[in-house]
Amino acid sequence: MKRTPFLVPPLALATLIFCADATSWAAESSTASKAVATQLFDDAQELLAKGDLASACAKFAESQRLEPQLGTLLHVADCYEKIGKTASAWASFKDAVVIASQRHDPREGDARAEVEKLEPRLCKLTIIVDAGAPPDLEVSSNGSSIGNALLGSPMPIDPGDYLLMAKADGFEDWAKKVVIAPGTPDTRIAVPALVRRPAPAVTSSQQASPPAPVMPPPAVTVQQPQLAQSLEPSDPGLHRRMMGYALGAVGVVGIGVGIGFALAKESKQSDRDSANACSKTSSCTALDKSKIDQLTNEAQTRATVANVGFIAGGVALAAGAVLVVTGWPKSTPSASAQVQPWIGDRSAGFVVGGVW
């Protein structure tokens, strides 16, 4: 029995791939950010345990930037305090107080206590600018611009070395190195009046000689290139098969990613169950509850990424098989392939069949 092959156009095939499981695909970018943020948080905890505080703080901060969480913010603030960045720790704890207050989170009291503890230890820098400074004056610290509204006011600052610079059009730049020692309550730096640059001298020869006339550029004749005669490919289905192989490889990678994150989800759920054991023996502390919530979120994130990997990998693998099968030259009229779409509650795909 002959069957007419059912060919899916490449554009329609791409549309079906990217529309499968619409809910998961719409959240893929957010899910990827959550996965990266979770990995950064885990790496930061490992570095913290090894004593590499500076690297741990950087990873905590990047995790918080990608996926803001109150628990991560408290880790960032605590890490900054450990490495002596009192101003950064103070600011992070203040942000945590605001968020915890809005959510009625019991960790508000701990964060507020840390703010009160750090305030007496803050170092502050006051930059005073001359009253006759140019209107376009720009002041910077270690290359970062300082807003005009901050000039003249004490600014909480972390201890360390700073290079202050001031510049304006038509004036010589001013620079000064400042060392803020831990425990220094207030440092005041005055930016002096900038020195105006001297105007360039004009020689007598430049005054007497008229400017040289500007000659128009020579006309350029552009020849239109002749279009090369297109050649009929010896194997018209080669591109279709190559695309099929590429989609198949993507499908295998997607399924592998799904398997990896599924295993990671099981591991996080096991850690969550172990941490939740406190509820069976005694009441869990606020720190225990924070850890349980963190592990639960991590397990859900990995489960979502695993589902996306399985769905995307399966659809890409099926589509690649269709392209490879339909891309071979038809040596006999009896060979054909057929694809039937199917749609579930939260996913979609293809059923591939044929006669050879």
Write out the DSSP string of 230-272: P---S-TTHHHHHHHHHHHHHHHHHHHHHHHHHHHHHHHHHHH
Residue 7 pLDDT grade (very low, low, confident, very high; cuts 50, 70, 90): very low
Same domain, 185 and 286: no
- Where do runs of H (alpha helix) occur along 67-132? 70-82, 86-103, 108-118
* Enclosing H/E stretch for 163: strand 160-167
Same domain, 273 and 175: no
Q: What 8-state DSSP symbol labels residue 196?
A: B
Looking at per-residue confidence, does 5 or 94 come out higher?
A: 94
Q: How many domains are contained in the chain?
A: 2
Same domain, 245 and 342: yes
Q: Tell me what the mean pLDDT of segment 301-328 comes to.
A: 80
> What six digits make up the tokens of 232?
């009929």
Residue 21 has pLDDT above 60, yes or no: no
Q: Tell me what the mean pLDDT of segment 109-135 comes to.
A: 92
Range of the structural domain that residue 279 is part of: 10-35+237-355
Residue 260 maps to a domain? yes
The answer to which of 10-19, 191-200, 294-303, 307-316 has the lowest mean pLDDT is 10-19
Residues with Cβ within 8 Å of residue 316, at least 6 apart in sequence? 17, 247, 248, 250, 251, 254
Residue 341 has pLDDT above 60, yes or no: no
Distance CA 108, CA 110 (A): 6
Residue 342 has pLDDT above 80, yes or no: no
Residue 47 maps to a domain? no
Same domain, 269 and 342: yes
Report the pLDDT value the prediction gives residue 295, as an integer from 0 to 100: 78
Q: What 8-state DSSP symbol labels residue 110?
A: H
> What six digits make up the tokens of 148?
């005009």
Residue 338 has pLDDT above 90, yes or no: no
Distance CA 67, CA 65 (A): 6
Q: CA-CA distances (angstroms) from residue 46 to 33, 55, 59? A: 20, 10, 11
Residue 291 maps to a domain? yes
Q: What 8-state DSSP symbol labels residue 169?
A: T
CATH number at residue 150: 2.60.40
Residue 24 maps to a domain? yes
Residue 53 maps to a domain? no
Residues with Cβ within 8 Å of residue 223, at least 6 apart in sequence? none
Residue 199 maps to a domain? no
Residue 277 maps to a domain? yes
Name the residue among 148, 340, 327, 329 with its Cα closest to residue 243.
327
Specify the pairing of strand 123-129 against strand 186-191: parallel
